Structures are given as C-alpha cells and as structure tokens.
Amino acid sequence: MTFEELIIYGIVIGACVLVVYLYMRVQLKTSRITTAKIVKAKEEGLYEPVSLHPVINEDNCIKSGACITACPEEDIIGIVNGRATLINASHCIGHGACFHACPVEAISLVIGTEKRGVDLPT
C-alpha cells in the first residue's frame, strides 16, 4: 500500500465519520426539541387524546418520517431517539393520514386511553 493510498483512505474514512457525526448531532437536536414539546404538552394538558388518535408501535417504527409529513395538523407526532412518538395527542382530529402513510404499519388508530376511557353509545 502506497502513501497516496493511505492518504486517500484516510480522507474517505474521515469524511464518513464527519457525515455520521453531523447526522447524529442533528438527530439529537431534533430529539431534544421534540422532548421539550412533549413536556410542554403535558404541562398544558394537551398530551392526553380526547378522541380517535394514533398509537405508535415503537418496535416496528423505522423513522421514515412519513407519518409526520402526512399529518396536516402541526406537532401531533415527532421523532424522539429515532422513533416516532406522540406530542400533542389532544390536537389530533383522527383523519388517519399518519396511519395510511406509515410504510411498516407501526401506527394504529384507537379511541380512548388507559387513563381516559371512552363512553360508547349502546
């Protein structure tokens, strides 16, 4: 292996490390922003859904972001630590665009929660 080849390999590996570092830094910043939004939503009482809302299976989520871009509402779903999560569930109007946009079917639409049941007419 010549000296020139070592320099080229070093530059390529350095560029790859730089790209991965920058990507991870952006992901960490996004996670922090989304986590702050979740904390604010919990403080304001907007975290608990009032009607039909998405439930995300974090084991199946591949973080494509399709659910976030498909949702016409703002700040309903966000990315935290590489996985989609609910932010302001009470603002969800239940149209299901996130459900249909998810490529791996990691989202299901449900009514009610463990804390807040739902009264269905008989």
Segments making up each domain of the chain, as ranges = 3-111
- Characterize 59-88 residue by residue with b for buried, 16 or more Cβ atoms within 10 angstroms of its Cβ, and e for exposed: eebeeeebbbebbeeebbbbbbeebbbbbb
Tell the residue number behind the tokens 């665009």, with chain if given. 97
Tell the residue number behind the tokens 């439930």, with chain if given. 55
Contact 55, 9 (CB under 8 A): no
pTM: 0.71
> What's domain 3-111's architecture?
2-Layer Sandwich (3.30)
pLDDT band at residue 108 using 50, 70 and 90 as cut-offs: confident
The predicted-structure confidence for 31-84, as pLDDT tens digits, reads as follows: 999 999 999 988 888 777 777 888 888 888 888 889 888 988 888 888 888 888
